[in-house]
């Protein structure tokens, strides 16, 4: 059975769709990967369509979109056939997002290292705790070092929450790769973004064992 990672965070623009795509591509170098888009906005589905025609797309990543009562059965199907299933969720905890969190081996919560993003994560953290799901926060668009980032790291640690030990910086490379249906590890395998992403993906895998 594959591992299910639900990428969730009520804050829009935190990087859910970006991280789902980037991690999917990085993990696709090591196993079979599927993405499930349950956000009605469908950005990940568009990325998947771009990917179909992208010559640099080195790995196969299946992208499915589904909602409502079909979600549970689709997820079962994908879990049986893939090593990793990443779910991109909408910025609300609706019934579909609940289903995704319930089904997840890990709930990955992207956030900018700033208090409003942690506040926005509370609903997801609470639901994951109720469902006894493992969670990990991950800093996205993070400055290398800032007083606020240190403060957030301390607060997350003091609360006993898990923070992915590798943060993703704000890099044009992520947005450019996404716009071409790619991951940074494909668009520019020797870039800083790719190094950072590979390190983050390795840390993510460690959380899944
Ligand atoms: N690390 C990053 N560096 C640069 N741009 C990013 C990064 N992460 C996300 N973005 C950009 O920020 C915007 C919001 O990201 P997105 O993944 O759509 O957020 P969400 O799905 O949580 O609403 C998008 O335009 C995306 O390209
Ligand atoms: Mg999104």
Say how far apart CA 33 and CA 31 lie, in whole Å. 6
pLDDT category, 155, cuts 50, 70, 90?
very high
Is 23 within 8 Å of 168 (Cβ atoms)? Answer: no
Neighbours of 39 (CB within 10 A): 22
| Residue nearest (by alpha carbon) to ligand 1 atom 23 | 13
Is 195 within 8 Å of 158 (Cβ atoms)? Answer: no
Query: Rounded mean pLDDT of 27-44?
Result: 97
Query: Rounded mean pLDDT of 176-184?
Result: 98
The fold of the 3-208 domain, in CATH, is Rossmann fold (3.40.50)
> What is the structure's pLDDT at 52?
96
Residues touching ligand 1 (Cβ under 6 Å) are: 12-18, 43, 91, 140-141, 168, 170-171, 174-175, 178
Query: Rounded mean pLDDT of 35-50?
Result: 98
pTM, two decimal places? 0.98
Domain boundaries, the chain: 3-208
> What is the structure's pLDDT at 19?
98
Please report, rounded to a whole number, the percentage of residues in the chain having pLDDT higher than 90: 99
Residues that place a CB less than 5 A from ion ligand 2: 16-17
> What is the structure's pLDDT at 127?
97
Q: Counting atoms of ligand 1 from 1, which one is nearest the CA of 14?
A: 22
pLDDT category, 154, cuts 50, 70, 90?
very high
- Between residues 133 and 69, the one the model is more confident about: 133
| Residue nearest (by alpha carbon) to ligand 1 atom 27 | 175
| Token reading at 116 | 């409003």
| Residue nearest (by alpha carbon) to ligand 1 atom 26 | 175
Query: Rounded mean pLDDT of 179-189?
Result: 98
Query: Rounded mean pLDDT of 47-73?
Result: 96
Is 66 within 8 Å of 74 (Cβ atoms)? Answer: yes
Query: Rounded mean pLDDT of 65-93?
Result: 96
């Amino acid at each position: 059975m594959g591992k299910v990672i639900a990428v969730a965070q009520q804050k829009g623009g935190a990087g859910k769709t970006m991280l789902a795509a980037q991690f999917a591509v990085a993990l696709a170098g090591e196993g079979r990967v599927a993405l499930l888009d349950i956000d009605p906005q469908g950005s990940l589905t568009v990325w998947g369509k771009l990917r179909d025609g992208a010559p640099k797309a080195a790995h196969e990543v299946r992208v499915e979109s589904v909602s409502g009562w079909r979600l549970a059965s689709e997820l079962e199907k994908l879990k049986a056939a893939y090593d990793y299933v990443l779910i991109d969720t909408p910025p609300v905890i609706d019934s579909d997002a609940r289903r995704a969190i319930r089904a997840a081996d890990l709930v990955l919560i992207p956030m900018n290292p700033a208090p409003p993003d942690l506040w926005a994560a509370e609903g997801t953290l609470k639901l994951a705790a109720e469902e006894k799901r493992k969670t990990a926060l991950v800093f996205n668009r993070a400055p290398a070092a800032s007083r606020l980032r240190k403060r957030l790291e301390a607060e997350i640690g003091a609360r006993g929450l898990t923070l992915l030990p590798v943060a993703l910086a704000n890099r044009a490379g992520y947005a450019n790769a996404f716009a071409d249906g790619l991951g940074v590890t494909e668009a520019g395998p020797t870039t800083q973004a790719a190094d950072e992403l590979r390190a983050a993906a390795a840390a993510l895998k460690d959380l899944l064992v």
